[in-house]
Chain A
Amino acid sequence: MTRLPYGSPTTPLPDEVDVAVVGGGIMGLATAYHLARTSYLRITVVEGAYLAAGASGRNGGGVRMQWSDPNNVRLMMESLRICRGLTQELGINLWFRRGGYLFLARTPAQADQLERNAAMHRELGADTRLLSPTAARAIVPELDVTGVVLASYNPHDAVVFPWPFLWGYAARATAMGVAIRTHTKVTRIEPETATYRLHLSDGTALRTDTVILAMGAYGHDLNRGLGIDLPNRPHRHEILSTAPLKPLFDPLVVDLSTGLYASQSLRGEVVAGVTLGAPDLDAPPEPIDTTSSLGFLERIGAALVRVFPRLGPVSVLRQWAGPYDFSPDGDPIVGPSPGHPKVIQMCGFTGHGFMMAPAVSRLVARFVAHGIGDPLLDRWSPGRFAGKPPARPREVMIIG
């Protein structure tokens, strides 16, 4: 039987599989793709709504290697390398555009951070350059650099259109035999002697050896049902796009003082977001809120026009929102769960999981299919929150 390339609500599911992936966002689909590519495991993906319903269908598509933690720089150098050939590998246009990322510092502390980043980046072979405000204007002539003391620029950073990533990974996974079922929620995960039974919203159930929870910010209920209590918390993050303009600027521009980020898509729209609060990490997780606010438009209007004065008369066409999935120590939560080694977590990616997925999905697939570990998976272990948290420098270049 030929399956529909992007899954469907009627995809037949076997009674039993080796790996059941819960969540059809970028993490779940990319991991299913790599599992299928590198193993003979029987794999299924169960998505409660549609592909791209979660953060993966709502994000800004920024992909960069400019981070403060060397592990993240290395990971993102790898992810960007994968992205370069991914349109060919997945057979779909990902709108991958390498226009670079330009960070603007307005305070001495921000400038210090950019200097430290750039020195470390160069040691790792990442081509990050420090620029004077005037040199930054040479790259983005539309910038108002009043108050900017230093900028950092990496020409290999990029922006993508997120949706086709999901379609590409899904179609390739389907072609290799992965069963993708959409519009079907996993309502409960029941541990059995050596397996798990996934209860589905259509009244059926599915037995699996391994479960991969790729539910982003949405995973708390299923986890708690298993006695797993993770500290990641959802937080609404808003974003907008403007009317399309002729090409105006190449790099994605970040203003470190406001948490503003703005890029221009290949269709000409300016896509932009800004920092607006953070979740209370000590409180129980709030329900996910994807409504839109006027406060966001006011804040980003001011932040954006300050950096790009000529955008003042440009109209906002649409605003939307999705969940950031905050992790308390800034690191994602990935790997076997405490007490449930066959329940693999992939969450806590805050606001940068999309760009990490091409590389992270390979690591997780290698671990699940072949038991091969990685220092990054040790660092990101879901078990690290039990007892005293490990003391280590925190990633500080988290934006938005």
Chain B
Amino acid sequence: MIPCFLCRCEDVLAAEVDHAIDLGWTTVEEIKRYTGLGTGPCQGKECLPLLAAHLAARDAAAACALAPFTQRPPAEPAPLAALAGTSEDPTR
């Protein structure tokens, strides 16, 4: 079988997601934590729909809650220097 990547940033295979489900993880939040899926530079923009589709195709969607994991800022990677030097004095 050709290995199928669900998360390219963190090299997570569909087979690894299946393994996580077999171990009892039932939600997208748990699968993310156990496999690392969605924790790379794209922050889930690419892999989250693939994971949802994979769970649905596996018929795991009933057991696995399909709610996406919490989306966090920044939407795009942002440099520290740009974030600094705005409204606050950190030395206060």
Q: Tell me the A residues contacting B by CB distance below 8 Å.
A: 4-9, 50-53, 57, 163, 167, 182-183, 242-243, 257-258, 260, 274, 292, 294-295, 297-306, 311-320
Contact = CB atoms under 8 A, between A and B. Distances in A.
B81 A313 contact: yes
B80 interface: yes
Contacts of B26: 8-9, 182-183
A163 B33 contact: yes
Classify chain B: how many residues form its interface, as a range: 20 to 34
Given A311-B80, A315-B79, A317-B41, A295 B27 contact: no
B3 interface: no
A127 B56 CA distance: 55
Interface of B: 23-27, 29-30, 33-34, 39-41, 43, 70, 72-74, 77-91
Given A301-B85, A302-B90, A305-B84, A317 B43 contact: yes
A297 B72 CA distance: 12
A57 B33 CA distance: 9
A293 to B, nearest CB: 9
A306 B33 CA distance: 32
B84 A319 contact: no
Contact of A301 (B30, B73, B80): B80
Contacts of A4: 23-24
Given A6-B24, A163-B33, 14 more contacts: A4-B24, A50-B30, A298-B84, A300-B80, A301-B80, A302-B84, A302-B85, A302-B88, A302-B90, A312-B79, A315-B80, A316-B77, A316-B79, A319-B73
A160 to B, nearest CB: 15
